[in-house]
Amino acid sequence: MSFPASRHISPWVDTLPPPELGPTGFRDDASDVLVLGAGITGITTALLLQRAGLKVTVVEARRLAGSVTMHSTVKVTYGHGTLYSKIEQKRGFDAAAAYAEANVAGFGEILALERDLNIDCMLERGHPHVIYAEQPEEVEAVEAEARVAERIGLPVTLGQEAPVPFEVAAALHFTDQAHFHPGRYLAGLAEAFVHGGGNIIEGVRAREVSEESHHCTVGTAAGKLAAAHVVVATHYPFLDRGGQFSRMTARRSYGIAAVLPGGSNAGMAINAGSPTRSTRTVMLDGEELLIVVGEGHGVGHVSETGQRWARLQQWAQERYGVTDFRYHWSAEETSTLDHVPFVGFAAPGSNRLLLATGFDGWGMTNGTAAAMLMRDLILERDNSWAATFDARRAETSLPGKEFVKHNLHIGKMWLKDRVGGPPNGSPEELEPGDAAVLKVDGEQTAAHRDENGALHAVSAVCTHMGCTVGWNDGEKSWDCPCHGSRFNPDGEVLHGPATAPLSKQSLG
Ligand SMILES: Cc1cc2nc3c(=O)[nH]c(=O)nc-3n(C[C@H](O)[C@H](O)[C@H](O)COP(=O)(O)OP(=O)(O)OC[C@H]3O[C@@H](n4cnc5c(N)ncnc54)[C@H](O)[C@@H]3O)c2cc1C
Ligand code: FES
Lowest mean pLDDT among 231-240, 262-271, 312-321: 262-271
Cα angle: 101, vertex 231, 201; to 5 degrees: 125
Beta bridge pairs of residue 206: 220
Cis-peptide into 23, omega within 30 deg: no
Once rounded to an integer, what is the mean pLDDT over residues 17-29?
A: 72
Give nearest CA residue, ligand 2 atom 2: 483
pLDDT band at 168 (very low <50, low <70, confident <90, very high): very high
Q: What is the pLDDT of residue 17?
A: 75
Q: Which of 8-17, 43-52, 186-195, 418-427 has the lowest mean pLDDT?
A: 418-427
Among 245, 301, 334, 465, residue to substitute to test ligand 2 (most atoms within 8 Å of Cβ): 465
Which residues lie closer than 8 Å to 457 by C-beta, 6 or more apart? 427, 440, 445, 446, 447, 448, 504, 505, 506, 507
The model's confidence at residue 272, banded by pLDDT at 50, 70 and 90, is: very high
How far is the centre of ligand 2, averaged over its atoms, from the C-alpha of 244 (Å)? 13
Asked if 253 contacts 57 with a C-beta cutoff of 8 angstroms, the reply is: no
Residue closest to 188 by CA, chosen among 29, 297, 43, 12: 43
The candidate with the shortest Cα–Cα distance to 234, out of 375, 68, 379, is 68
For residue 341, the Cα-to-chain-centroid distance in whole angstroms is 12
Distance CA 224, CA 236 (A): 22
pLDDT at 167 over 70: yes
What confidence tier does 19 reach under pLDDT thresholds 50, 70, 90? Answer: confident
| 196 or 306, higher pLDDT | 196
- Written as one letter, the residue type at 166 is F
Amino acid 398: pLDDT: 46
Nearby residues of 129 by Cβ (< 8 Å), 6 or more positions away:
75, 77, 79, 173, 174, 177, 268, 269, 270
Q: State whether residue 281 is helix, strand or coil.
A: strand
- pLDDT at residue 412, as a whole number: 60
- Residue 394's pLDDT band (boundaries 50, 70, 90)? confident
Q: Give the distance (Å) from ligand 2 centre to CA of residue 410.
A: 9
Q: To the nearest 5 percent, what fractions of the chain are helix, strand and coil?
A: 30, 30, 40
Compute the residue count for the chain.
Answer: 508
For 248, counting Cβ atoms within 10 Å of its Cβ (0-12 exposed, 13-18 middle, 19+ buried), the class is: buried
pLDDT value at 137 more than 50:
yes
Which residue's CA lies nearest to atom 25 of ligand 1?
39
- The C-alpha angle with vertex 507 and arms to 505 and 508, in degrees rounded to 5, equals 145
Is residue 259 pLDDT above 80, yes or no?
A: yes
Instruction: Note the pLDDT of residue 189.
Output: 97
Distance of CA 461 from the midpoint of ligand 2 (Å): 9
Model pTM?
0.95
What does DSSP say about strands 170-179 and 199-201: parallel, antiparallel, or unpaired? unpaired
* DSSP, res 399: P
Q: How far is the CA of 67 from the centre of ligand 1 (A)?
A: 6
Looking only at the bridges linking them, the beta strands covering 56-59 and 199-201 are parallel
Mean pLDDT score, 23-37: 84
Taken in order of first residue, the domains within the chain and their CATH numbers are 399-508 (2.102.10.10)
DSSP 122-158: --EEEEEEEEEESSGGGHHHHHHHHHHHHHHT--EEE
Ligand 2 nearest-atom number relative to CA 467? 3
Q: Residue 381: CB partners within 8 Å, gap ≥ 6?
A: 375
Tens digit of each residue's pLDDT (9 = 90 or more) over 214-230: 999 999 988 999 999 99
Does the pLDDT at position 161 exceed 90? yes
Structure confidence by residue, pLDDT tens digits, 315-360: 999 999 999 999 999 999 999 999 999 999 999 999 999 999 999 9
Q: Kindly tell me the sign of the dihedral angle through the C-alpha atoms of 270, 271, 275, 279.
A: negative
Q: What is the pLDDT of residue 4?
A: 60
Mean pLDDT across the stretch 478-482? Answer: 94
* Ligand 2 centroid – CA 482 distance (Å): 5
The rounded mean pLDDT for the chain is: 92
The Cα–Cα gap between 94 and 290 comes to 37
How much of the chain, in percent, has pLDDT values that exceed 70? 92
8 A C-beta contact, residue 115 and residue 185: no
Give pLDDT, residue 345.
97
Taking 60 as the threshold, does the pLDDT of residue 54 lie above it? Answer: yes
Bridge partner list, 130: 173, 269
Band (pLDDT 50/70/90 cuts) for residue 28 is: confident
Cβ-contact 100, 83 below 8 angstroms: no
Confidence (pLDDT) at 273: 95
**Region at 369 (left for phi over 0; alpha for psi -120 to 50; beta for the rest):** alpha
CA atoms of 164 and 404, how far apart (whole Å): 39
Ligand minimally distant from the alpha carbon of residue 238: 1
Residue 341, ligand 1, Cβ within 6 A: no
SS3 68: helix
User: Strands 470-472 and 277-284: what pairing?
Assistant: unpaired
Query: Which residues sit with their C-beta closer than 6 Å to ligand 2?
Result: 462, 464-467, 480, 482-485, 497-498
pLDDT at 403: 66
Q: What is the pLDDT of residues 57-90, one digit of tens each?
A: 999 999 987 899 999 999 999 999 999 999 999 9
The pLDDT, as a whole number, for residue 24 is 67
Residue 173 — very low, low, confident or very high, per pLDDT cuts 50/70/90? very high
Could you give the 3-state DSSP secondary structure of residue 404? Answer: helix
User: Given a cut of 90, is residue 16 above it in pLDDT?
Assistant: no
Contact by Cβ (8 Å): 64, 186: yes
Query: CA-CA distance, 332 to 352, in Å (whole number)?
Result: 28
Mutation pick for ligand 2 pocket among 247, 412, 464 (CB with most ligand atoms within 8 Å): 464
Specify the 3-state DSSP secondary structure of 63. coil
* C-alpha of 258 from chain center: 23
Task: Identify the nearest ligand to the CA of 414 by its number.
Answer: 2
- Convert 360-370 to b/e letters by CB count within 10 Å (16 or more is b): bbbbbbbbbbb
Taking the CB of residue 316, how many other CB atoms lie within 10 A of it? Answer: 22
Helix (H, G, I), strand (E, B) or coil at 392: coil
Pairing state between β 455-459 and 206-211:
unpaired
Closest ligand to C-alpha of residue 78 is 1
**What per-residue confidence (pLDDT) applies to 14?**
94
